[in-house]
Chain A
Amino acid sequence: MSELNDVIATADSPDPADGLRAASVLRKLAEQIEAKHVVAARRAGWSWQEIGDALGISRQAVHKKHRSRDV
């Protein structure tokens, strides 16, 4: 999490190197958050369609991406 805090602090940094790194780390973070919460949603009984609707991607796409994580 300290890496995240460093990212947030530099998101408006004047140095493009920091800003670009922030974009890259945030993409990784988004993928991690998605994976974690897809698992949690499935455990809580969410259907693949409900998960897809929440993410704005198709049921098929979310299932294909995350089915190996399924409970």
Chain B
Amino acid sequence: MSNKTVDPDVRAKIETSPFAAALGITYEEIGSGYCRVSLEIKPQHLNFHGTTHGGVIFALGDVAFAAACNSYGQTAFALNVDVSFLTGTSVGDHLVGEAKEISLNGPIGLYALTVKHAETGTLVAQSQAMAYRKRDSLI
């Protein structure tokens, strides 16, 4: 992970994600190859069991991942993501999603994603995500 700060225009572009806004996800921090986001679970996020839909948990990590791999200003997209769901969550839970770069080699970046309970740090889901960076600029 480089220590370079993220171009303010790139950051602003990343934060316009309509989907993140629709789910209620907040961007907390974006750095080079890094992002942290948060989400409070609401009734519309629940599945049949009354727990948070796995897709919502995945999406929280995915939004952080998208920001982290696009943070250099080159358009990047996901190739492949593995996820493991470790514990359930429900309405009122405050979750934190984090994406950290493990490796960046040419166009291929690999990121470790976690979703945790904000207060306790308990691991909710863990993912590994591979991204492809195009030559196009994000802005």
- Tell whether A and B belong to one assembly: no
